[in-house]
A and B are shown apart, each in its own frame.
Chain A
Amino acid sequence: MAGYILEMRGITKTFPGVKALENVRLQVKEGEVHALCGENGAGKSTLMKVLSGVYPHGSYDGDILFKGDSCGFKDIKQSEELGIVIIHQELALIPYLSIAENLFLGNEQTKRGIIDWNETSVRTKELLRTVGLSESPSTLIASLGVGKQQLVEIAKALSKRVKLLILDEPTAALNEEDSENLLKLILQLKEQGIASIIISHKLNEIAKVADSITILRDGRTIETLDMRKDDVTEDRIIKGMVGRDLTHRYPERTPSIGETIFEVSGWSAYHPQQLERKVLDDVNFHIRKGEIVGIAGLMGSGRTELAMSIFGRSYGRHINGTIKKEGRELHIKNISDAIEEGIAYVTEDRKQYGLILIDDIKRNISLTNLVKISRRTVVNENEEVVVAESFRKQMNIKTPSVLQKTGNLSGGNQQKVVLSKWIFSEPDILILDEPTRGIDVGAKYEIYTIINQLASSGKGVLMISSELPEILGMCDRIYIMSEGRITGEVNREDASQEVLMKYMTKSRGE
């Protein structure tokens, strides 16, 4: 039996207020492909950051053994010296430098302090050949597609004499052919004795390349499966990933659902930069009065892109399709049209896209509907304070005054301000993108209550969330997205985490 190249034992990592990892164990054998699975937020990325030294030795508890030797890394440089290289989901290449310059960035081939370009070029060619690229070393990164960039990243790892390669969602942004090539390359590297850890949501890919799987859930190791010995099916993995009791409670609600109020059909859109990449493909859905409709999907499945492209075409190019509200087709050209037609979009990232952090609460709330508190475009500032105060009470925003800057509020209170601002715009349709991300359990409950109230007042709510329990606990009907398409629609009664996960991991080829 081969020994372990890597053993992580009893890893515990706490952030202020949250236990991200608790007593995690991960064992990777020499020369194997090891898959790491788990829901969003299960702790996979944190674990890899502990391993690579992003979180330095001492900021976590537990032991890391590499080739049997105990080690603790102060930074990434140290782990890379031993041959542990991590390739992140967001590629870390510099677009306006050449392949050769990128490959040896921070590791320049020098002779007496001066870069030896000939040596660099020769070695680059060699490395590119190993990963199956025929590009010239002087090609700019910006001119390569994502798939080839991914391969350049691997070549870069090889240049550091990698022994353990960690790939975080390597195929998330790739098309099928590129994914296939990448997986083949991983198997090739394995034959050369390079072990890899793959973090992936695509279970079919894991089944194809992995020798064993470790499943994480809520920051704990659930189990490690051997692909050859155990009888591992996708359902088996899914069960490991989601099989938990609902830890949150959801407020009671008796839905009273009316007629269809909002309907989107044949909706498609292209990526704003990568012109040939279709991010949304023939999406159809509808929302009824008083209904909370969920959209589940993994990161990168096109949920946010869908919401933003509907909301005044604020994302994407060549958007096609029709939007109907109460049977009438809408022609929305920009965001103010969308707001006027009664659509509101609560963004995923409240700090960057939701709030003006240097402005106070009242100004943030009034921004979406200044006309309402204005007479002939003159804003009535007294009325504004009254409005803000009423939201402060109604939403229970914890702050000494509505003159407080929103940048000084906690995440939960910021989110309440964002919700207030969109309720103030008097919408009929609310699109909520990750409405409870980064919020503590108490504030979550309050926000769920607000969402329920909105629905019972006859509005249509579309809720996007990465947290499956939240989707299951809140929504009357759920659409599931994968790779820019809707792959399934289930009613509350038929929904379970297993069912959703199955649709979520369904890729185009199947």
Chain B
Amino acid sequence: MEVMKNVFKNNVRQYGMILALILITVLFQVLSDGILLKPLNVTNIIQQYSFILVLAIGMVLVIITGHIDLSVGSVAAFVGAVSAIMMVDYDMPYWAAIILSLLIGALVGAWQGFWVAYMRIPSFIVTLAGMLLFRGLTMIVLDGQSIAPFPKAFQKMSTGFLPDVDGSSSIHMLTIIVGVFLSLVTVLQEFRDRRAQRKYDFEVLPYPWFIAKLVGIVAVINVFTYVLAQYRGIPYILIILFLLVIVYTFVMKKTVMGRHTYALGGNEKAAKLSGVKTKRVTFWVFVNMGALAALSGLIYAARLNAATPKAGVNFELDAIAACFIGGASASGGIGTVMGAIIGGLVMGVMNNGMSLIGLGIDWQQGIKGLVLLFAVGFDIYNKNKTAS
């Protein structure tokens, strides 16, 4: 029992967030008469908020280092515009355009990272300048017009689905199979971790709790894939998101690079005196942010099937809000990729739910603002309580 208590106490924030997500989901499920969790709508939420979630992953890294990036919306718009020129005006194959676009994003990130890390200009200023600069460049390259349409193959990135194995049944079979496969991998991985911890003689969850946890995880995965299978199966974009979450969680939790990022955000001077190359880490975090902003821009353009000068407006604010709702600390050193995703989903479900019940955009904005304030307020209240 002591173990359970400790596990819970150390993760109040994480569990609190998941709990909040569940509560909000249930609330809107009831308010919308069950529309929220209809297969079609679940698929919609994923596709509508994918580009914010991609940004949130990059943003949480930036916030962990103690910085901020206000330019991501403009960068997304800029890269979307450039990709449209490449694909629509110059008939470049979509894969080449995607690779080039991501590179451009990385270069933009390198430009901002250079000013922040090496010239030590506050990131707020550098990226505020970037926000104006790249919005301006977007309008210049688009000449104030929208460019459309994109090639079909490119659009599929945002709107396509994994094909089914036979396509005869009303249920998307491949999706079910993927769900079962993921469950197996997860269970195996959990057992392997447990064995490793045993080998080191660490305390592990009591066996019944462990089994309960596994059953819970397996149930969540399969219910989710079952819901998707009732509509058109797994959207491509979900696969991209899934891979990003896995890779970034792994990098941040398990690798030297991730550790250095947290150390830098926790105490820059101490990290530097411990041999962390603080400038280099900051630089690469911004390069990464640029590349993810580019990806987000591509996803948005593909979904809209057009590059427009107004694309990506206020994306940065949604991404930043997602990170803070998800438990990141504004002073750096604290935050997780999973947290940012959950924070993003909280915003996404709220947006979608409020639209479903017919709340106007004016009310939506206001309520989202209050949720951000209360989420962070709750966090700080909790921290003060544990400190005293």
Residues of A at the B interface (CB closer than 8 Å) are 311-312, 314, 334-336, 338-339, 345, 347, 352-359, 363, 366-368, 370-371, 374, 377-379, 381-383, 385-386, 403, 421, 425
Q: Which residues of A contact B256 (CB under 8 A)?
A: 370-371, 374, 377, 379
> Which residue from chain A places its CB closest to the CB of B269 in the assembled complex?
A353
Cα–Cα, bound, A336→B257 (Å): 14
Q: Within the complex, which residue of A335, A336, A377, A421 is in contact with B255, where a contact is CB–CB below 8 Å?
A: A377
Q: Which segment, of B35-43, B69-77, B259-267, B346-354, faces chain A?
A: B259-267
A467 and B202 CA atoms in complex are apart in Å by: 42
Q: Contacts A334-B277, A382-B200 given; indicate if A352 touches B272 (C-beta within 8 A).
A: no
CB B255 to nearest CB in A, in angstroms, measures 5
Contacts of A363 in B (CB 8 A): 259, 262-263
Which listed residue (B10, B199, B271) contacts A356, Cβ 8 A?
Answer: B271
Q: Tell which of B199, B259, B267, B273 touches A370, judged by Cβ atoms closer than 8 Å.
A: B259
Write out the residue numbers on chain A whose beta carbons fall within 8 Å of the beta carbon of B270: 347, 352-356
Instruction: Give the distance in Å from the alpha carbon of A133 to the alpha carbon of B110 in the complex.
Output: 49
B345 to A: closest C-beta gap in Å: 26
What 7 A-B pairs have minimum CB-CB distances, sorted nearest first?
A356-B266, A336-B275, A339-B275, A356-B267, A382-B200, A370-B256, A367-B274
Asked whether A359 lies within 8 Å of B266 as measured between CB atoms, the reply is: yes
Cα-based distance from A370 to B258 in the complex (angstroms): 11
| Closest chain A CB from B48 CB (angstroms) | 35
Residues of B within 8 Å of A314, CB to CB, are: 272-273
Cβ-defined partner of B263 (8 Å) among A345, A347, A356, A382: A356
Q: How far is B254's CA from A381's CA once the two chains are assembled, in angstroms?
A: 7
| Minimum distance in angstroms from B196 CB to a CB of chain A | 6
Instruction: Tell me the minimal C-beta distance from B331 to chain A in angstroms.
Output: 9
Between-chain CB contacts (< 8 Å), 20 pairs: A312-B275, A335-B273, A335-B275, A336-B275, A347-B270, A352-B270, A354-B270, A356-B267, A356-B333, A357-B266, A359-B263, A363-B262, A367-B275, A370-B256, A370-B260, A374-B255, A377-B256, A377-B257, A382-B199, A386-B200
Q: What distance in Å separates the Cβ of B24 from its nearest Cβ neighbour in chain A?
A: 29
- Number of A-B residue pairs having CB atoms within 8 Å of each other in the complex: 85
- Chain B contact residues (Cβ within 8 angstroms of A): what range? 20 to 34
On whether the beta carbons of B271 and A379 are closer than 8 Å, the reply is no
Q: Mark B217-247, 1 if CB is under 8 A from A, else 0.
A: 0000000000000000000000000000000
Q: Which residues of B contact A311 (CB under 8 A)?
A: 273
B263 near A352 (CB under 8 angstroms)?
Answer: no
| Chain A residues closer than 8 Å to B92, beta-carbon distance | none
Q: Which of B175-231 contact A (CB under 8 A)?
A: 196-197, 199-200, 202
Residues of A within 8 A of B274 (CB): 335, 339, 367-368, 421
B276: interface (CB < 8 Å):
yes
User: From residue B5, how far is it (CB to closest CB) to chain A in Å?
Assistant: 13
Known: A353-B273, A359-B266. A367 touches B259 (CB 8 A): yes
CB contacts (< 8 Å) of B199 on chain A: these are 382
Q: Of residues A314, A355, A367, A379, which shows the largest number of chain B Cβ atoms within 10 Å of its Cβ?
A: A367
Docked-complex contact A359 and B273, CB < 8 angstroms: no
A377 to B252, CA, bound (A): 12
Q: Most chain-A CB neighbours within 10 Å: which of B255, B274, B334?
A: B274
How far, in whole Å, are A368 and B259 apart by their CA atoms in the complex?
Answer: 11
Interface centre among A314, A359, A363 (most CB of B within 10 A): A359
B255 and chain A: residue at smallest CB distance: A377
Complex Cα distance, B334 from A355, in Å, reads 15
Q: Mark B337-374, 1 if CB is under 8 A from A, else 0.
A: 00000000000000000000000000000000000000
Among the interface residues B200, B257, B334, which one has the most CB atoms of the partner chain A within 10 A?
Answer: B200
Q: Which residues of A contact B271 (CB under 8 A)?
A: 356, 367
Contacts of B269 in A (CB 8 A): 352-353
* CB of A402, distance to nearest CB on chain B (Å): 11
Chain B residues with Cβ under 8 A from A370's Cβ? 256, 259-260
Contacts A378-B254, A382-B200; A335 near B272 (Cβ below 8 A): yes
Minimum C-beta distance from A46 to chain B (A): 28
A420 to chain B, nearest CB (A): 12
Q: Which of B269-289 contact A (CB under 8 A)?
A: 269-277
* Minimum C-beta distance from B66 to chain A (A): 12
- How far is A115 from B353 in the complex, measured between Cα atoms in Å? 58
**A383 — which chain B residues lie within 8 A by C-beta?**
200
Q: How far is the CA of A11 from the CA of B262 in the complex (A)?
A: 48
B327 → chain A closest CB, angstroms = 13
Contact A355 B267 (CB under 8 A): yes
B residues less than 8 Å from A359 (CB atoms): 262-263, 266, 333
Of the candidates B200, B260, B275, the one having the most CB atoms from chain A within 10 angstroms of its own CB is B275
Given A374-B255, A381-B254, A382-B200, 6 more A-B residue pairs with CB atoms under 8 Å apart are A311-B273, A336-B277, A366-B259, A379-B254, A382-B197, A385-B202
Q: Which residues of B contact A374 (CB under 8 A)?
A: 255-256
Question: For residue B196, which residues in chain A have a CB less than 8 angstroms away from its CB?
Answer: 382
In the complex, are the beta carbons of B267 and A357 less than 8 A apart? Answer: yes
Residue in A358, A371, A386 whose beta carbon sits within 8 Å of that of B266 in the complex: A358
Q: How far is the CB of B229 from chain A (nearest CB, A)?
A: 34
Q: What residues on A are CB-neighbors of B267 within 8 Å?
A: 352, 355-358
| A347, B273: Cβ atoms closer than 8 Å | yes
CB-based nearest B residue for A421: B274
Task: Select from chain B the residue with minimum beta-carbon distance to A334.
Answer: B277
CB distance from B221 to the nearest CB of A (A): 24
Asked if B276 contacts A367 (CB within 8 A), the reply is yes
CB distance from B386 to the nearest CB of A (A): 10
User: Most A CB atoms within 10 A — which of B196, B254, B257, B267?
Assistant: B267
Q: Which residues of B contact A386 (CB under 8 A)?
A: 200
CB distance from B316 to the nearest CB of A (A): 26
Q: How far is the CA of A383 from the CA of B199 in the complex (A)?
A: 11
